[in-house]
Structure 1
Amino acid sequence: MHPNLIASRFLEIIDPDPSRDLQDVMGVLGAEFGFGHFTYFANPRPNARYDENIILTSYPEAWQGRYREKDYHMIDPVVSHGMRSLLPLDWSLLPRNSAAVRQFFGEAGDLGVHPNGITIPIRDANRGCGLFSVNIEISERDWLSYKRAFISELTYLSFLFHDRAMRVGMVPGATERPALSPREVEVLQWAGNGKTRWETSVILGISESAVKLYLANACAKLRVANTTHAVARCVTEGLFDVR
């Protein structure tokens, strides 16, 4: 399997038409890669009110209405755990030990939300945060193998999506990309192709600490929280491709 198959397809669709509707793009990806619904939730600044958040979702209108009507964001474990986590969340592992949460998932299922899903937390250097979720209609037997196959690709896709949302003005705080040095671009490209800092140091003939410094400088210049997001920014800007 191509290590960045979903991300490559996302860029293939959107690069020729940067103004293309992101929800439409996700509909194409969902049909091709097996997820039924997606949700992108962005909190543009610390302590933002719920009505200031950016939400883009393909969930059925009936569930969206029920969610708003009952203020389910107050008890949704995907939101509460995702906003505190740095790692992807498997919905099947979320605690459901309260009657309110069990009712929440029961109503979601009745209104077209499948029980299996993955949520990727997003953090950026502007102190904004967000969640990118895909919801998959799949048997319990097949769920673990699907997750193992696609979780890294979906993580990369989440940062590409967030970066694109910032660039088209959906998320406040986007800035123009500062110039990276040739060496900073090199270390990011190797990181994007799966090389560790040590492997990159051997390839480039520099110390591992120098590689670490170049990555940190690049992340600071791009105002992103981590190397994955930095690579996503560079790919969307056309600085390099990843294999």
Structure 2
Amino acid sequence: MTVAAQARLDAILERLEEATDRDGLQQVTEELRDFLDVRHVVYHWVSAAGEQYGVGTYASEWVERYVAEGYLRIDPVVQGCYQRFHPVDWKRLDWSGKATRNFRNEAIEYGLGNQGYSVPVRGPGGQFAMFTVNDHCDDDAWAQFAEDNRRSLILIAHSFNEKALDFEPDRQPDAAPNLSPRELDALTLIAVGHSRAQVAETLTISEHTLRAYIESARFKLGAVNTVHAVARALSRGLIVI
């Protein structure tokens, strides 16, 4: 990502942080759609109490159709995200059933693209969310988009979720975790794309010791895995890449 593009994304995420209501979140999804140059950007939140809402750029007619037909039951994207912690490329999901094929074809008729990428996010007490980008292009172009933007999409997803959690009633703000210098170094090197072996060599420690640092950082951040820990550290400004 160029310096100019990173500055633009930082400005959008700053507006996300300053949002005080759903309209503010909606405006950010529209800005991100234009920034990423995709058809749609959507964030869907299910609170710990079961309350749901979504913001995004899908046509209202499609949203109404989706709800009226109960497509939540058969949507492979939702099912896939519930079963995974890592980002989900839609083309890797099972679309072989007749109902899911018809669902996909109808979604495309309503303006969704043939490609999608969703980041599942899990929060405290059962809170769950999905951040999705959607576009129309061939598989090679989409694979390149995902490769170029994967880290940014994870960061954006967790930034959205941090803001959504602010809207939870009676929720107390989390204290900033106190990560050690070694924990910060490990997460930073992982964030820039180093393998665990490369990180251990750079820090002149064993991979066993590195694993202990990563697990300690993950626990302090309340993260479900290493990718989640890196995303939370990035979104809270604990590490910078």
Normalised by the length of structure 1, the TM-score is 0.80
Aligned residues: 236
Cα distance change, pair 97–187 in 1 and its aligned pair in 2 (3 A): closer
The AA in structure 1 aligned to 2:216 is N
Residue aligning to 2:39: 36
Q: Which sits farther off after the overlay, 212-221 or 153-162? A: 153-162
Whether 2:23 is the aligned partner of 1:25: answer no
Whether 2:67 is the aligned partner of 1:68: answer yes
| 8 Å contact kept, 1:7–1:153 | no
Residue aligning to 2:12: 13
Q: Which runs of 5+ in 1 are unaligned?
A: none
Q: CA deviation at 1:60?
A: 0.7
Equivalent-residue separation in structure 2 for 1:196 and 1:33 (angstroms): 27
Whether 2:92 is the aligned partner of 1:106: answer no
Q: Give the alignment of 1:60-209 within 5 angstroms.
A: 60-124=59-123, 126-139=125-138, 142-166=141-165, 168-169=166-167, 175-209=174-208
Which structure has more relative contact order (CA 8 Å, sep 6+)? It is 1
Cα-to-partner distance string for 1:110-167 (whole Å, 9 max, x where unaligned)? 222222111223345655433221111334563343334334442343233333433x
Identity %: 28
Cα distance change, pair 106–170 in 1 and its aligned pair in 2 (3 A): farther
Cα distance change, pair 188–94 in 1 and its aligned pair in 2 (3 A): closer
Cα distance change, pair 100–216 in 1 and its aligned pair in 2 (3 A): same
Whether 2:215 is the aligned partner of 1:212: answer no
Cα distance change, pair 123–16 in 1 and its aligned pair in 2 (3 A): closer
The AA in structure 1 aligned to 2:18 is S
Cα distance change, pair 174–110 in 1 and its aligned pair in 2 (3 A): farther
Q: CA deviation at 1:217?
A: 0.9
SS of 2:43 mapped into structure 1: strand
Cα distance change, pair 5–38 in 1 and its aligned pair in 2 (3 A): farther
Normalised by the length of structure 2, the TM-score is 0.80
Equivalent-residue separation in structure 2 for 1:127 and 1:5 (angstroms): 38
| 8 Å contact kept, 1:160–1:229 | no
Cα distance change, pair 190–141 in 1 and its aligned pair in 2 (3 A): closer
Q: Which runs of 5+ in 2 are unaligned?
A: none
Equivalent-residue separation in structure 1 for 2:140 and 2:194 (angstroms): 33
Equivalent-residue separation in structure 2 for 1:188 and 1:62 (angstroms): 43
Equivalent-residue separation in structure 1 for 2:145 and 2:15 (angstroms): 30
Q: CA deviation at 1:43?
A: 3.7
Q: CA deviation at 1:184?
A: 2.0
